[in-house]
Structure 1
Amino acid sequence: MPATPDTAVVAALDGAYGLPAADLERLPIGQVTVNYRAQLPDGTVLFVKHYQDGADLAGERAAIAQSRRAGEHGVPVAALRPARDGTSITGHTGTAVSVWEWVEGQTVEEGLDAAQQHAAGRALGTIHRAFADHPLSAAPSAKLDKWLNPDLAKLGADVDRLLAAIAGKGERDDFDEQAARTLWERREVLHRVPELIAGLPELTTQVLHGDYSAVNLLFDGGRLAAVLDFLPPAPFVVAYELGRIAFDPRAVALHEDWITSGTRLVGAYLEANPHLPAADVRACARAALLQLVTSLYGVKQHYVRPGLLQGDLDAFWLLRHEAAQRLLNGLEEVEAALEKEAAAH
């Protein structure tokens, strides 16, 4: 009889790491890896990532190297525990895992407070400064052209297919009703995408964290305890990564002071990375908005191929949609605030 995933992970920890008899608790986080809290007989607690079949392990190893690089520049990161052969990810008997020292902290679900905004902004500024001289930072961004030229006809057709899937259901639940409403609203604003793109300056690109969002930041009160889940090094738009966290959908959708809080985070970023051009600073909210209005992340998975934690994705789609609407309506005001913040640094 084949081993269950949990049993296979326990065997990998024993065989590749010399960590026998680990007691695993599966954590309700992660859309790509299955994640565990592992407690050893001596009371040591570790974090374990189990990579799924087909995962790009070479890319994952490169991402781990990025985490180390950030840590060397003072960014709080989780410490990797290498396997006995020194590798960052083991493929013991076909089970690919990485092991990390446990970091106490919590992700923030309802938007960062002032201290957390400051900590998150400074950490991202430090990461961007540290990664600016990465060899790949000078390379062209493979994603930039597609990002600046979204296929709006296809996006509209995707919206229509999702609406048809909802209409074809015999009985609709609450999410179906909300999804239908938000998809119709998204359909109505797609014509504004070209003007959003036309308002962007020439954008700075370099190697980034790659997924700098609230779910990848662990806080202990106002202190940033760890930045998690770096992606493999690849150049992309600095303004987008800055805008994505400064105008995180949770902050924008759930708080009336989202412009103030977003510019506060940007100001902290500029303390650590003051050389980002003012044009990029002003463009960061627009860049985040462009990504939001051209993405169906969450709702598409619901009706096409559900994710590991689809309930979380459903909720995130609704937050992202509300945030997109607010950003779209308040873009002139937020860009003026960002321009003022850039001038102050």
Structure 2
Amino acid sequence: MSGAESDVMVVAGILPLFYRIIPTAVDEGPAGTATRNYVARDSEGGRWFVKAYPAGTDLDAERQALELGQFARLGRIPVPVVRHTLDGDLIAAAGGMAVSVAAFVENAQTAEGGLSGDRWAAVGETVGRLHQTLARHPAGPPRRVPAREVCDVKRARQRLDRLLTLFAKRPPTLGFSAWARETAAQRRDALPAVAAMVKELPPSLTVQAVHGDLASPNLLLRGQQVAALIDFRPPGHRSPAWELGRIVLDPRTVLAEPQWPAGLAEAVAAYQAANPALPAEELLAVPRIAAGYLACSVYPLAEAVDDPAAVTPELEAYGRNRHAAMVELCERLTEAEEVLHDLLH
């Protein structure tokens, strides 16, 4: 029996023992970033999404993440219900495996195909309601922090210097590693311009509890509407303007949709209607924050030296697209801000 088959059998054993779910089939599901996922069908025809955590995972942190998602449901945010174990826990552990079980989201696809049409407004409205709900989370109310904490150029320089030092010890000559080294050097040289861009942000920005990993793979769409938000991270204070920009200006969307500034305006208008508490000056800063975030990031450049085994053809393509989208955002920043200025003023 292969390891994969053995894991399927462990999942099939956990479901009736801890959840009183009698599985008629258990299959491997869509791959997760750090988890193995399965889809189980029960005796009544329902389907369940089973997430298996690797050894060494901080299960208390994962419980907090699951609890945050269920808190968002209180605000009628489309988050799949998490099934509790028979003793009321959110995670079950047996046979060397720890899992959580949530309702399977039927007939949905991730937002990795990009946003277009009515999806812009649908996503903006959902994220606005999400942030309005999470502002009431017990982790703490929204507060203000210096803008440099949201786009930390000093920390970016430290990360890029570390990365380039590692590249210098073993200089790559071909492929993604060579491209990553060249791109890291370009990013470091561009940091003075990034610092100047960040200085144009408001002096302080709001931070609060947010989703924490609201990227395209964790946004499920059904047609033109949002079907679900999945894979929350434990509650921590981040900028809601940053999170809005991260999802609506995802590199896949920016590169696939030439009219993204107009789409951004639709998303921001819908967000503001759903969450009027976030100041207009911060919504105006969304494209600048998104550009600064990408310019200060070393992902996935660092994978070339920190985890070469993780560098798949898909990750290589995403890395190149992510850099191209950052360049696009910077080049059209004034255009995007003018569109938002007309909307917000």
TM-score normalized with structure 2 length = 0.88
| Residue 275 (structure 2) pairs with residue 312 (structure 1) | no
Q: Which residue of 2 aligns with 1:333?
A: 335
CA distance in 2, matches of 1:114, 1:215: 19
CA contact (8 A) 1:107 1:215 kept: yes
Amino acid at match of 2:72: A
Q: How many residues align?
A: 340
Amino acid at match of 1:43: G
Deviation per CA, 1:85-116, whole angstroms, max 9, x where unpaired? 22111122442101111111001323112211
CA distance in 2, matches of 1:143, 1:227: 29
Amino acid at match of 2:124: G
State the Cα distance separating 1:145 from its structure 2 match: 6.5
Q: In 2 relative to 1, CA 143–166 (structure 1 residues): closer, same or farther, beyond 3 Å?
A: farther
Identity value in percent:
33
Picking from 103, 110, 114, the partner of 2:113 is 110
Question: Can you give the 5+ residue segments of structure 1 that lack an aligned partner in the other structure?
Answer: none
Q: Which residue of 2 aligns with 1:82?
A: 84
CA distance in 2, matches of 1:130, 1:309: 37
CA contact (8 A) 2:177 2:304 kept: no
| Residue 75 (structure 2) pairs with residue 73 (structure 1) | yes
CA contact (8 A) 1:253 1:323 kept: yes
Bigger strand fraction: 2
| Residue 129 (structure 2) pairs with residue 126 (structure 1) | yes
State the Cα distance separating 1:120 from its structure 2 match: 0.9
Q: In 2 relative to 1, CA 31–22 (structure 1 residues): closer, same or farther, beyond 3 Å?
A: farther
Q: Which residue of 2 aligns with 1:92?
A: 94
Q: In 2 relative to 1, CA 318–168 (structure 1 residues): closer, same or farther, beyond 3 Å?
A: closer
CA distance in 2, matches of 1:266, 1:190: 28
Q: Which residue of 1 aligns with 2:36?
A: 34
Q: Which residue of 1 aligns with 2:25?
A: 23
TM-score normalized with structure 1 length = 0.88
Amino acid at match of 2:118: A
Question: Can you give the 5+ residue segments of structure 2 that lack an aligned partner in the other structure?
Answer: none
State the Cα distance separating 1:186 from its structure 2 match: 2.5
Amino acid at match of 1:82: H
CA distance in 2, matches of 1:178, 1:168: 9
| Residue 166 (structure 2) pairs with residue 190 (structure 1) | no
CA distance in 2, matches of 1:270, 1:29: 34
CA distance in 2, matches of 1:79, 1:281: 31
Match of 2:226, SS state, is: strand
Amino acid at match of 1:267: A
CA distance in 2, matches of 1:152, 1:231: 22
Deviation per CA, 1:190-225, whole angstroms, max 9, x where unpaired? 222211221111101111111122211111111211
More displaced, 158-167 or 244-253?
Answer: 158-167
Picking from 155, 158, 181, the partner of 2:159 is 155
Deviation per CA, 1:34-93, whole angstroms, max 9, x where unpaired? 111223355332110001112121121122122122212121111212212221111224
State the Cα distance separating 1:117 from its structure 2 match: 1.4
CA distance in 1, matches of 2:101, 2:132: 27
CA distance in 2, matches of 1:68, 1:269: 21
CA contact (8 A) 1:246 1:266 kept: no
CA distance in 1, matches of 2:57, 2:105: 25
CA distance in 2, matches of 1:308, 1:78: 29
Match of 1:154, SS state, is: helix
CA contact (8 A) 1:163 1:183 kept: no
Q: Which residue of 2 aligns with 1:275?
A: 277
Amino acid at match of 1:156: L
Aligned CA-pair RMSD: 2.7
Q: In 2 relative to 1, CA 319–2 (structure 1 residues): closer, same or farther, beyond 3 Å?
A: closer
State the Cα distance separating 1:312 from its structure 2 match: 3.5
CA contact (8 A) 1:141 1:235 kept: no
CA distance in 2, matches of 1:208, 1:55: 21
State the Cα distance separating 1:2 from its structure 2 match: 11
CA distance in 1, matches of 2:238, 2:67: 18
